Structure 1
Amino acid sequence: MPSYDDFQQIATAVDDGVMTLTLNRPERLNAWTEAMEAEFRRAIEAAEADTAVRAIVVTGAGRGFCAGADMDILEAGTRGTAAGDATAAAPAGGAQAAAPEGLDRNYAWRFSYLLKVPKPIFAAINGPVAGIGLCMALFCDFRYMAEGQKLTTAFAKRGLIAEHGASWMLPRIVGLTNALDLLMSARTLMTDEAERLGLVRARPADGFLAAVQGLAREWTHAASPRSIGVIKRQVYDGLFQDLDAAWRRADADMVASFDSEDFQEGVAHFLEKRAPRFTGR
């Protein structure tokens, strides 16, 4: 079983198919650091390899989700000493990693690798989120936000630009005009407006995390893990493909699915009128 031990700035727990990853610097509203990023990626990779995990939920300890980059890092940046820290836009995997080719180039950057994880990732935004914390959430598959919380891109009010793929992903979620509004103004919006824009789905603050974990568990127990993984890759690959390439890929994936155990189980549980017992194979 993959290891979830030895973390200092995050915490993890696996329960009934759901791995909950908690950003764990509550005294700093879970502000992002280089150490947190390394632990975050290690935990995601462990969950990806763990056959007992079908979904990942990311949340924050205490009253915040992630307040953005740690202010000590931003202050260092004003002195020209921020290279290599939590604000640097290095490819995921580090400088020594082999350069990916083809579509995989798009999944090699900070946070974009989340799109390639073949398990759904739910951002459970329990409190304020800003800057790099929001960028991370943009690359999760689903964003749920507790009612009455605040969200901001923050960059323009710090003299910065749309970092970490935000200028690419945000328009694809909320549309061009809304993305320009949120990025250029860096204004703060509440959960209800974020939901109207299609950026998040709102849920009551009471019992918020348990509700998101329940959704993740329900969805991934009712559907084939293999199908979920293939569909996720189809959708994100499709952002970089033309229709012809996407269609050909779907046809090939459909033929391959006929030979899977999950296809056999999908037909069997329907005909037998019972709950599915998918294996992901």
Structure 2
Amino acid sequence: MAYETIDFKVEGGVARLTLNRPDRLNSFTVQMHEEVADALDNLGGARTLVLTGAGRGFCAGQDLNDRAVAPGEAVDLGESVERRYNPLIRRLTSLPVPVIARVNGVAAGAGANIALACDIVIAAKSAKFIQSFAAIGLIPDSGGTWVLPRLVGQARALGLALTGEPLAAEKAAEWGLIWKAVEDEALDAEVDALAARFASGPTRGLAAIKKMIRESWDHRLDEELDLQRDMMRELGFSQDYKEGVAAFMEKRTPNFTGR
């Protein structure tokens, strides 16, 4: 597929997917959804994914102009969510590689929750997260109502969702909504260093960490302990574990292959 609304490349084990409609703050259209889905189908040998936006924003959510609905006209938003946004969130959270959100500017509406669906969110200090749904009579979709209370607690989740007030990146990091807020000029170096670390890391182990932490919400402690036993058994036979132990004993840098 020839991409018109995104940029996508895979180099050195790092896939970089850039939402590229800067004149519309990288808001989603049907075409962008299709192109993003195609890119995620073509990660190849990538061992980590960086998701970001072009220009001054990360993503402003849905481009309301793309729905071509006249003022006051009814539209089935459930279909849009089911066909476009839900598959994207499910895909990002289940990819067997770490996903880094590089939030370079405003992340609003579904754009904010797409960022929060990534495994690690690193934001420029000038960035803001906005749950803008209430202003047009909607609820935080794209996983918003699920992830917000789990990350920041019910009181803050309700405050963010009901008021739609922008949350600065530094405050988002302080609240535990995101991993880290850095100076704007340090954003690229911070993200690139982490991407390189993941791309040369023990991919199977990283994928297992992601899977188990994300799925732990549904398990009792006894169940989780059993799952930990099973995963440790599986990973203990991996080439990366053997290499990691050998490198530690030999006091050298490990050469992980992801196997």
Pair 1:240–1:45, CA change in 2 (3 A): farther
- Equivalent pair of 1:58/1:123 in contact (CA under 8 Å): yes
Q: Distance in 1 between matches of 2:238 and 2:213?
A: 20
Where does 1:171-250 land on structure 2 (aligned, <5 Å)?
171-200=149-178, 201-221=180-200, 223-250=201-228
The residue type equivalent to 1:159 in the other structure is G
Q: Distance in 2 between matches of 1:240 and 1:92?
A: 25
Query: Could you say what secondary structure the match of 1:22 adopts?
Result: strand
Q: Which runs of 5+ in 2 are unaligned?
A: none
CA deviation after TM superposition for structure 1 residue 82, in Å: 5.0
State whether structure 2 residue 73 is matched by structure 1 residue 79. Answer: yes
Aligned counterpart for 1:22 among listed residues 9, 15, 18: 18
CA deviation after TM superposition for structure 1 residue 110, in Å: 4.0
Query: Could you say what secondary structure the match of 2:59 adopts?
Result: coil
CA deviation after TM superposition for structure 1 residue 83, in Å: 5.2
Pair 1:246–1:42, CA change in 2 (3 A): farther
Where does 1:52-67 land on structure 2 (aligned, <5 Å)?
53-67=46-60
CA deviation after TM superposition for structure 1 residue 236, in Å: 1.1
Aligned counterpart for 1:132 among listed residues 107, 110, 120: 110
Pair 1:193–1:258, CA change in 2 (3 A): closer
- Equivalent pair of 1:126/1:209 in contact (CA under 8 Å): no
- Equivalent pair of 1:89/1:110 in contact (CA under 8 Å): no
Q: Which runs of 5+ in 1 are unaligned?
A: 94-107
The residue type equivalent to 1:10 in the other structure is I
Identity of matched residues, %: 35
The residue type equivalent to 1:260 in the other structure is S
Pair 1:8–1:82, CA change in 2 (3 A): farther
The residue type equivalent to 1:123 in the other structure is A
1:150-181 CA-partner distances (Å, limit 9, x unpaired): 22100001111121221111111112211111
Match of 1:105 in 2: none
Pair 1:84–1:183, CA change in 2 (3 A): closer
- Equivalent pair of 2:60/2:111 in contact (CA under 8 Å): yes
- Equivalent pair of 1:74/1:82 in contact (CA under 8 Å): no
- Structure ranking higher in helix proportion: 2
Pair 1:24–1:84, CA change in 2 (3 A): farther
- Equivalent pair of 1:123/1:144 in contact (CA under 8 Å): yes
Where does 1:82-93 land on structure 2 (aligned, <5 Å)?
88-90=80-82
Pair 1:137–1:89, CA change in 2 (3 A): same
CA deviation after TM superposition for structure 1 residue 269, in Å: 0.8
Q: Distance in 2 between matches of 1:124 and 1:61?
A: 11
Match of 2:96 in 1: 118
Q: Distance in 2 between matches of 1:63 and 1:217?
A: 24
Deviates more, 1:206-215 or 1:134-143: 206-215
- Equivalent pair of 1:91/1:110 in contact (CA under 8 Å): no
- Taking structure 2 as the reference length, what is the TM-score of the superposition? 0.91
- Taking structure 1 as the reference length, what is the TM-score of the superposition? 0.85
State whether structure 2 residue 259 is matched by structure 1 residue 277. Answer: no
CA deviation after TM superposition for structure 1 residue 116, in Å: 1.1
1:77-133 CA-partner distances (Å, limit 9, x unpaired): 842245587xx221679xxxxxxxxxxxxxx74402311111110110101110010
CA deviation after TM superposition for structure 1 residue 149, in Å: 2.2
Q: Distance in 2 between matches of 1:31 and 1:109?
A: 17
Aligned counterpart for 1:45 among listed residues 41, 48, 52: 41
- Equivalent pair of 1:7/1:39 in contact (CA under 8 Å): yes
Pair 1:193–1:66, CA change in 2 (3 A): same
Match of 2:143 in 1: 165
